[in-house]
């Protein structure tokens, strides 16, 4: 008998302590792993690219069960071969519940999403980075199906120019880099890409950003922002209004933070909407 078969038999002969009975009568809402980094392939509108995800994975534990099988979370990731998109995230949480003998569970992971963008005048291409988080919560129904709540969150850096500064100044206006953070709830059957969410924020800012610009591009961006001034209030309202029109989105939270160039503090606004 080879070493692999011997190890297999020894493992299966050992007592399964995690599945033993617990007398304390206290259910646990979430138990699992956190801070697990794992390589991924991310599917985008332009193709796929490699990334590293930072994972949280957990399940609800009944009061009468001592523990969950932590290694099975990792095993689920190890067997993942498909490039990640909204459909695959839903599929993963549906696979996780029976694997962990659970009726409820959650998969959350964050990574850096890259989009290749062409500059507005020179068309020189460069990569722009966005911080993205997927959250999928699964619940086993009486029918045996798993209902999934799917959330997508993206942080999009943009440029904002102050309308007040433009109005009161004889020339020029102060501007700053801003962060727009959008968190949207989606139906589990919905197909939505990170690029869809990014476009909603960039289209409503004073100007979007690029990884690399030439002088003609810099001129275009400067003038674009000057012609399109936005308070933080304008920014958060305009982005929320754009997302509200998207029928794929069930509810949304939009936050905007301007890193002020004339103050040592930020301006901030937040809108939450349910449809």
User: Within a 10 A sphere around the Cβ of 183, how many other Cβ atoms?
Assistant: 18
Classify residue 78 as left (phi > 0), alpha (psi -120 to 50) or beta.
alpha
Helix (H) or strand (E) holding 129: strand 125-140
Instruction: Give the integer Cα–Cα distance in Å for 132 and 54.
Output: 11
Asked whether 125 and 135 are in contact (CB, 8 A), the reply is no
Q: Which fold has domain 21-274?
A: Urate Oxidase (3.10.270)
pLDDT at 8: 46
Question: pLDDT digit of tens for each residue in the chain (275 aa)?
Answer: 455 445 544 555 666 656 656 677 899 999 999 999 999 999 988 889 999 999 999 999 988 888 888 999 999 999 989 999 999 999 999 999 999 999 999 999 999 999 999 999 999 999 999 999 999 999 999 898 999 999 999 999 999 999 999 999 999 999 999 999 999 999 877 788 999 999 999 999 999 999 999 999 999 999 999 999 999 999 999 999 999 999 999 999 999 999 999 999 999 999 999 97
Task: Write out pLDDT tens, residues 39-87.
Answer: 999 998 888 999 999 999 999 998 888 888 899 999 999 998 999 999 9
Q: Between the CA of residue 188 and those of 83, 91, 254, what are the distances in Å?
A: 17, 9, 21
The DSSP result for 22-44, as a single string, is -SS---EEEEEEEEEEEEEEEEE
**Sign of the C-alpha dihedral computed for residues 230, 236, 241 and 246 taken in this order:** positive
- Give the distance from CA 37 to its chain's centroid: 15
Q: Between the CA of residue 271 and those of 183, 232, 233, 249, what are the distances in Å?
A: 11, 11, 10, 15
pLDDT at 1: 44
Residue whose C-alpha is closest to residue 259's, from 196, 209, 184: 209
Asked whether 273 and 250 are in contact (CB, 8 A), the reply is no
Helical residues (DSSP H) of 186-255, grouped into ranges? 194-202, 215-226, 232-244
């Amino acid at each position: 008998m080879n070493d692999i078969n011997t190890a297999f038999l020894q493992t299966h002969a050992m007592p399964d302590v995690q599945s033993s009975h617990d007398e304390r009568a206290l259910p646990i809402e979430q138990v699992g792993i956190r801070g697990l980094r794992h390589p991924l392939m991310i599917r985008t509108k332009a193709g796929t690219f490699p990334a590293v995800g930072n994972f949280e994975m957990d399940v609800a534990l009944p009061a009468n069960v001592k523990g969950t099988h932590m290694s099975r979370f990792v095993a689920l990731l190890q067997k993942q071969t498909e490039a990640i998109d909204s459909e695959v995230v839903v599929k993963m949480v549906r696979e996780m519940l029976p694997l962990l003998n659970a009726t409820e569970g959650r998969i959350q992971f964050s990574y850096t999403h890259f989009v290749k963008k062409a500059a507005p005048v020179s068309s020189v291409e460069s990569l722009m980075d966005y911080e993205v988080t997927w959250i999928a919560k699964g619940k086993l129904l009486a029918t045996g199906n798993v209902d999934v709540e799917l959330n997508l969150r993206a942080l999009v850096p943009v440029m904002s120019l102050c309308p007040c500064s433009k109005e009161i100044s004889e020339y020029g206006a102060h501007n700053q880099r801003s962060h727009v953070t959008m968190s949207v709830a989606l139906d589990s059957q919905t197909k939505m890409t990170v690029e869809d969410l990014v476009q909603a924020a960039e289209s409503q800012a004073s100007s979007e950003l690029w990884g690399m610009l030439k002088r003609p591009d810099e001129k275009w961006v400067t003038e674009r922002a000057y012609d399109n001034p936005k308070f933080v209030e304008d920014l958060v309202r305009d982005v929320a209004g754009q997302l509200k029109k998207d029928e794929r989105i069930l509810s949304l939270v939009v936050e905007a933070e301007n890193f002020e160039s004339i103050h040592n503090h930020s301006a901030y606004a937040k809108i939450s909407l349910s449809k």
